[in-house]
Structure 1
């Protein structure tokens, strides 16, 4: 077999193995979070992960996750949906993961629908989260459907809007532009390979996330 073919085959195998390792990251994130294994959890992130307000590193991340979980939730369960992964280069990738979650929080049982926008990085041969951006559609008690505006409804807090649609301008464009009757719409060319997510983003800046 020609050397060029071997190189191509090696690259394709690396891409498949990387895709699966990244996909496992999302599952490990949910399991370690729900089981409160915070060392396992923060070990999924890059060693110098940015935590915010000038803080970096897994120690700061562990402190923040501990405080968040201990103060708000008795128990949680994260259920993953579709996972789209696209590679920026051999050691960097981006992804979107859907997640539907259940939370025991005081006297209420809060369900949530959200997605994560992820940045992944391979460091010393292993893939890690560089960043997870959580975007929320709704959170509401199991017996109270989140109809209407301000769908983020946590016990003891004023309702507020999530950021579920804010990553993608298509949501607002859809509602702002009703098609003309009997006029065929324009159709854009399909996105290039490995650029589906970025094509949907259209350089939209990351929204500011209000922590639950």
Structure 2
């Protein structure tokens, strides 16, 4: 088997493993297997400004789930994966979620901006950045602004559209306006960077 063919096979296997990684995240989180869940992250995952590692992540996940949610369900949608090297990749994946939060049933639409890294032969999360469109009571459609409407909290805007300059560009263009040219399609492995208009990868605010 040629070197080029081996690289292509490795890429296909990596894509499948990353897709399973995301599915395992949802299953382990929803079934409250916190050990299985944190094992999907890099051993030296950063949890806060001064805390690193799976043990700290486990403590944070355990506390968050016990304090906020009686139950959850994460339904995965489209997943775009691009590689920066054979052992590093990033991706965007849609997630439609349901939460039992005390006496409330909260539905949510979001996407994750992920960084993946292959460590000791396994693909793991290097980080996950959640970007929200809405969260609201099941019976209250989130029409209007500040669509993040968790019961007992002040509504706020999510970052669903903030990552993508095309959102503002589209609405800034007058209705019916026509452009003379169509942009060149994004190069291979550059679709997300092209949509981001060359901006650096978004950052997580470290608590």
TM-score normalised by the shorter chain: which range applies?
Answer: over 0.9
Which of these residues, 55, 73, 79, is aligned with residue 75 of structure 2?
A: 79
Per the alignment, residue 128 of structure 2 pairs with 132
1:108-187 aligned within 5 A: 108-178=104-174, 181=177, 183-187=178-182
1:7-156 aligned within 5 A: 7-156=3-152
The answer on whether the counterparts of 1:169 and 1:204 sit within 8 Å (CA) in structure 2 is no
Q: 1: distance between equivalents of 2:88 and 2:191? A: 16
SS class of match (1:49): coil
Q: Does 1:199 align with 2:205?
A: no
TM-score normalised by L of structure 2: 0.94
Q: Does 1:189 align with 2:184?
A: yes
SS class of match (1:147): coil
Give the number of equivalent residue pairs: 206
Q: 2: distance between equivalents of 1:133 and 1:142? A: 24
SS class of match (1:187): coil
- The answer for unaligned runs of 5 or more in structure 1 is none
- The answer for unaligned runs of 5 or more in structure 2 is none
Structure 1 vs Structure 2 CA RMSD: 1.7
SS class of match (1:140): strand
1:121-154 deviation per Cα after TM superposition (whole angstroms, max 9, x unaligned): 0011110000000000000000000000010011
The answer on whether the counterparts of 1:103 and 1:109 sit within 8 Å (CA) in structure 2 is yes
Q: 2: distance between equivalents of 1:52 and 1:191? A: 35
Q: Displacement of 1:107 after TM fit?
A: 1.1
Q: 1: distance between equivalents of 2:180 and 2:103? A: 50
